[in-house]
């Protein structure tokens, strides 16, 4: 591989992972890139619009051209086109934030969403990523991955803490994933955003691999056991429909699929 190309992607990933951007010295030290080489690469990325630079804070952040690339990726992702109508149906019935996420290494990326304006709601938006260990969608996908793949992700996972309820260890997460594999919904109970509860179920493809998850997110103040039962019924129906459209014939899909 070409060293400069590898460094460019490493730089972008490093900056993307840090809220508020990064200063030159942090990038150089973390990625072991000589300062002169890093300066040249960052200059090129600025000229192309892939990073921005704040002269006051001396921090680099992702630029608008990143969004152009991500939007092109999302437009061409077939599952979005197939799943959009199903998400719309779920949202129409529940009137809660309804999202479709896909896995990317140790995070999930939101690729489609239906939501009404809500001053109580705090959540990631389309194109943004969230950690698997602190999102309902991430847990739903992770739980149903092949054991070797799941173990590899768990071993590389950074258990970043977002709230006082965030899972902080591999052992605790593994125990929760075992319960999810038994057919339970996955939950995120204020683990990523304070005051928000999310539930999710996986979406399977023709190879019976969990390639996505549908998540429903509700402010804690509106959450109840009655609401949870209603969400589960609608969510199981929606994920069953989408899995079936993608070729899955698993019991999980067939049992809860709703008629089109």
Assess contact for 113 and 198: CB atoms under 8 A: no
The whole-angstrom distance between residue 153's C-alpha and the CA centroid of its chain comes to 14
Query: Hey, is 213 helix, strand or coil?
Result: strand
How many other C-beta atoms are found inside a 10 Å radius of the C-beta of residue 186? 25
Per-residue pLDDT reduced to its tens digit, 24-71: 999 999 999 999 999 999 999 999 999 999 999 999 999 888 877 766
Between the alpha carbon of residue 48 and those of residues 34, 35, 41, 44, 158, the distances in Å are: 21, 20, 11, 6, 31
- Please state which CATH class domain 77-256 belongs to: alpha beta
Q: Strand 97-104 vs strand 186-189: parallel, antiparallel, or unpaired?
A: unpaired
Q: How far apart are CA 108 and CA 101, in angstroms?
A: 6
Q: What six digits make up the tokens of 191? A: 């683990």
Q: Please state the domain extents for the chain.
A: 3-68, 77-256
Per-residue pLDDT reduced to its tens digit, 85-125: 999 999 999 999 999 999 988 889 988 888 876 545 455 56
Annotate 135-184 with DSSP letters as a single string: -HHHHHHHHHS-HHHHHHHHHH------STTS---HHHHHHHHHHHHTTP
Q: Is the pLDDT of residue 217 over 80?
A: yes
Torsion sign (Cα): 54, 60, 63, 67: negative
Q: How far apart are CA 133 and CA 107, in angstroms?
A: 8
Length of the chain: 260
Q: Is the pLDDT of residue 255 over 50?
A: no
How many other C-beta atoms are found inside a 10 Å radius of the C-beta of residue 11? 23
Per-residue pLDDT reduced to its tens digit, 136-170: 999 999 999 999 999 999 999 889 999 999 999 99
Task: Return the pLDDT at 162.
Answer: 92
CATH code reported for the domain at 3-68: 1.10.10.10
Phi, psi of 37 (to 5 degrees): -65, -40
Q: How far apart are CA 92 and CA 104, in angstroms?
A: 28
């Amino acid at each position: 591989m070409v060293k400069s190309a590898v460094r460019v992607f490493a730089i972008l990933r490093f900056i993307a992972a840090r809220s508020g951007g990064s200063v030159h010295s942090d990038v150089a030290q973390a990625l072991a890139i000589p300062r002169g080489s890093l300066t040249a690469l960052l200059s090129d990325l600025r000229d192309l619009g892939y990073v921005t630079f704040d002269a006051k804070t001396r921090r680099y952040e992702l630029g608008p051209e990143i969004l152009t690339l991500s939007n092109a990726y999302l437009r061409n992702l077939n599952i979005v086109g197939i799943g959009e109508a199903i998400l719309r149906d779920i949202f129409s019935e529940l009137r809660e934030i309804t999202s479709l996420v896909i896995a990317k290494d140790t995070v999930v990326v939101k690729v489609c969403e239906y939501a009404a304006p809500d001053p109580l709601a705090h959540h990631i938006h389309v194109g943004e990523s969230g950690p698997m260990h602190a999102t309902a969608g991430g847990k739903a996908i992770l739980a149903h991955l092949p054991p070797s793949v799941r173990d590899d992700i768990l071993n590389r996972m950074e258990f970043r803490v977002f709230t006082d309820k965030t899972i902080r260890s591999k052992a605790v997460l593994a125990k929760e994933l075992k319960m999810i594999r038994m057919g339970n919904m996955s939950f995120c109970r204020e683990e990523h955003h304070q005051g928000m509860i999310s539930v999710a179920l996986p979406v399977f493809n023709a190879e019976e691999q969990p390639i996505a998850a549908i998540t429903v997110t509700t402010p804690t103040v509106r959450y109840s056991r009655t609401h949870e039962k209603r969400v589960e019924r609608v969510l199981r129906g929606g994920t069953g429909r989408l899995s079936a459209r993608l070729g899955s014939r698993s019991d999980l899909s067939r049992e809860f699929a709703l008629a089109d």
